[in-house]
């Protein structure tokens, strides 16, 4: 495990992550040209994104007078060339919902945090060009979600620099963010209603960063109080070894998962020792995974390079949003954070409900699991059914994304009840018509297709969970009720099969499925390669059941274990 404790340790790590990018900066330094796939935005925005996102780390570093040559000179030069309409590296004209508004956020953060690096050395004309380009965000519409914070940050930066800004937008956008507050420390992500990592690494993160640069003490305290309350729930998303549940979109941002804790500590959160422990452990376990390519560039993927799990807004430079975690560097060398020993997780309840997030959490120390009812109204940004609609999401057993719905192997339906129809198609839950959380149970009503209706009742127990499905079908088909994936060890897995259960072990992981009620048959599903976020090849324990017209009741129990974390219990 890499040593991470002192401020210099974090600076060295940031330097190590950024250094491989150096050969890919353009001549005018306003673009970073990385190899990789495309996105739903143009090449100008793709190259601006790769330029801007390292600023999440550099801005925090610069705030306290640290420098990391040659990035200071390069970013001054790049800001000038990117915002000069006569430059060949001009970032281009913008329009409504433009990706370049997203990338204005780290630029604004850098201008707020370190104006002496990026702003003061510029000429009057260069300042006017930069300010004019950033100010364009006020002339266009943006999605009603965490994007409103991008405009808040830009207008805050322009205001602090004495340049033209929009008071109206600043007031309206702040009011919109306030309207997203649900209570008990939780926001939703605007019009989508989602409650995923964007609440941590967007809504709270930007609020906490913003609070560092305003003079309104009452507002500062409100932001911190909400973060303290949010932390009481968000801590359940992290295991004792530092891994966090794989759930929702933008998982390619990886260690942005713990960036809330960085901003929380920098803003003066009262549990800095716990925050530091989560940050150190989360970062360390990521650095032990295959997340960089052979030249040291962060890849699109989760635990290994994998375009098949990406959203349509993931471009080659997108993963550098992960550098938000380096907001710990906003704290100077004298801050007591650097002398604190990283604390272990405190004692947590085995079962913990988070109503605002529509989650029932199971925390076993070495593993954190969230049980969700599924969401409706999701956009088609990339595999949203797999990212939001499975029954359970684990920190240790990451979920899979379907390549197609044509075979059970392509569908890779871990932690799902999948129906295979006569036409060969595979149908799974895509949101719930209704749901409720009652104690240690989460109940949802859903329909995978016309002619099948399901009521699923999940009971969360200390070391496993039980699913009861009441299925009403107008036709015959088969169903697979599946547990978590484990790594396929190529004929070295231990498969123990009984008439009513199946247990698969390999590489220190164990996953099992057991029939409690019903006429099912234990089987092994071998999904197609590169469907799972954690392992390139996997196996899934499942219960196969024949579904007849009428009502079928299935009750199965699912359990996981992990030898490597026995010491974490």
- Retrieve residue 372's tokens: 């969700």
One DSSP character per residue, 139-168 reads: GS---SSTTHHHHHHHHHHHHHTT----HH
Distance, in Å, from the CA atom of 85 to the CA atom of 93, rounded to the nearest integer, reads 9
Distance, in Å, from the CA atom of 560 to the CA atom of 32, rounded to the nearest integer, reads 43
Phi, psi dihedrals of residue 142, rounded to the nearest 5°:
-135, 160
- Retrieve residue 350's tokens: 């085995």
The pLDDT tens digits of the residues spanning 464-511 come to 999 999 999 999 999 999 999 999 988 889 999 999 999 999 999 999
Q: What CA dihedral angle connects 231, 217, 207 and 266, to 10 degrees?
A: -60
Mean pLDDT split into 10-residue runs, the chain, 569 residues: 88 98 98 96 98 98 96 98 98 98 98 97 98 98 97 97 98 97 96 93 97 94 98 98 97 98 98 98 97 98 96 97 98 97 96 96 97 76 90 98 96 98 95 94 97 98 96 98 95 93 96 97 97 97 98 98 59
Distance, in Å, from the CA atom of 311 to the CA atom of 40, rounded to the nearest integer, reads 10
Residue 2 pLDDT: 72
Which residues have CB under 8 Å from 417's CB, separation 6+? 391, 428, 429, 448, 454, 456, 467, 469, 479, 480, 481, 482, 554
Cis peptide before 70 (omega within 30 of 0): yes
One DSSP character per residue, 427-457 reads: E---S-SEEEEETTEEEEEEEEETTEEEEEE
Residue 490 pLDDT: 84
End-to-end Cα spacing for the chain: 19
- Retrieve residue 406's tokens: 């044509």
Q: If you ran DSSP here, which 8-state letter would residue 528 be given? A: P
Residue 91 pLDDT: 98
Residue 379 pLDDT: 62
Taking the domains of the chain in order of start, what are their residue ranges? 7-339, 351-568
The pLDDT tens digits of the residues spanning 283-323 come to 999 999 999 999 999 999 999 999 999 999 999 999 999 99
pTM of the shown model:
0.96
CATH number of 351-568: 2.70.98.70
Residue 377 pLDDT: 53
Distance, in Å, from the CA atom of 2 to the CA atom of 556, rounded to the nearest integer, reads 41
How far is the CA of 274 from the CAs of 2, 15, 52, 337, 345, in angstroms?
Answer: 19, 25, 30, 11, 7
3-state class of 543 per DSSP?
strand
Question: Looking at the domain 7-339, which fold is it?
Answer: Glycosyltransferase (1.50.10)
């Amino acid at each position: 495990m890499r040593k991470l404790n002192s401020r210099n340790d974090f600076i060295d790590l940031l330097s190590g992550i950024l250094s491989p990018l150096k050969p890919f900066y353009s001549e005018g330094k306003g673009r970073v040209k990385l190899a990789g796939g495309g996105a739903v935005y143009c090449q100008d925005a793709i190259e601006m994104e790769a330029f801007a996102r390292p600023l999440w780390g550099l801005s925090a570093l610069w705030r306290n007078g640290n420098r990391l040559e040659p990035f200071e000179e390069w970013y001054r030069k790049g800001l000038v060339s990117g915002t000069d309409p006569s430059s060949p590296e001009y970032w281009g004209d913008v329009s409504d919902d433009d990706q370049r508004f997203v990338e204005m956020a780290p630029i604004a953060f850098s201008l707020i945090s370190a104006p002496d690096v990026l702003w003061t050395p510029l000429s009057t004309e260069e300042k006017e060009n930069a300010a004019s380009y950033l100010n364009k965000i006020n002339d266009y519409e943006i999605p009603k979600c965490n994007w409103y914070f991008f405009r808040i940050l830009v207008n805050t930066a322009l205001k602090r620099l004495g340049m033209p800004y929009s008071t109206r937008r600043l007031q309206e956008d702040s009011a919109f963010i306030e309207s997203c507050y649900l209570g008990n420390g939780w926001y939703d992500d605007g019009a989508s209603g989602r409650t995923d990592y964007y609440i941590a690494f967007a809504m709270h993160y930007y609020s906490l960063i913003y609070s560092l640069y305003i003079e309104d003490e009452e507002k500062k305290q409100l932001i911190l109080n909400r973060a303290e309350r949010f932390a009481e729930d968000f801590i359940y998303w992290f295991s004792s070894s530092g891994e966090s549940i794989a759930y929702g979109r933008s998982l390619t941002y990886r260690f942005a998962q713990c960036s809330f804790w960085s901003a929380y500590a920098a803003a003066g959160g009262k549990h800095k020792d716990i925050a530091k422990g989560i940050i150190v452990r989360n970062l360390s376990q990521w650095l032990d995974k295959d997340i960089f390519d052979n030249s040291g560039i962060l890849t699109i993927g989760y635990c290994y390079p994998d375009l098949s799990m990406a959203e349509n807004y993931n471009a080659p430079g997108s993963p550098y949003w992960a550098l938000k975690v380096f907001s710990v560097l906003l704290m100077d060398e004298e801050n007591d954070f650097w002398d604190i020993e990283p604390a272990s997780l405190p004692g947590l309840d085995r079962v913990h409900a988070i109503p605002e997030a529509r989650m029932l959490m199971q925390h076993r120390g070495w593993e954190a699991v969230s049980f969700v009812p599924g969401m409706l109204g999701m956009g088609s940004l990339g595999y949203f059914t797999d990212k939001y609609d499975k029954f359970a999401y684990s920190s240790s057993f990451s979920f899979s994304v379907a390549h197609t719905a044509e075979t059970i192997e392509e569908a890779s339906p871990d932690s799902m009840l999948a129906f295979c129809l006569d036409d060969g198609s595979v149908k799974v839950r895509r949101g719930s018509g209704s749901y409720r959380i009652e104690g240690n149970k989460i109940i949802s009503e859903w329909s995978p297709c016309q002619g099948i209706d399901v009521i699923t009742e999940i009971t969360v127990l200390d070391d496993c969970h039980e699913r009861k499905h009441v299925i009403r079908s107008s036709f015959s088909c088969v169903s697979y009720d599946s547990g978590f994936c484990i790594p396929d060890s190529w004929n070295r897995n231990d498969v123990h099969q009984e008439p009513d259960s199946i247990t698969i072990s390999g590489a220190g992981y164990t996953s099992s499925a057991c029939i409690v009620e019903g006429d099912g048959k234990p089987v092994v599903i071998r999904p197609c390669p590169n469907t799972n976020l954690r392992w390139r090849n996997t196996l899934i324990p499942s219960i196969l059941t024949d579904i007849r017209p009428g009502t079928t009741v299935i009750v199965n129990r699912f359990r996981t274990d992990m030898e490597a974390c026995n010491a974490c219990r």
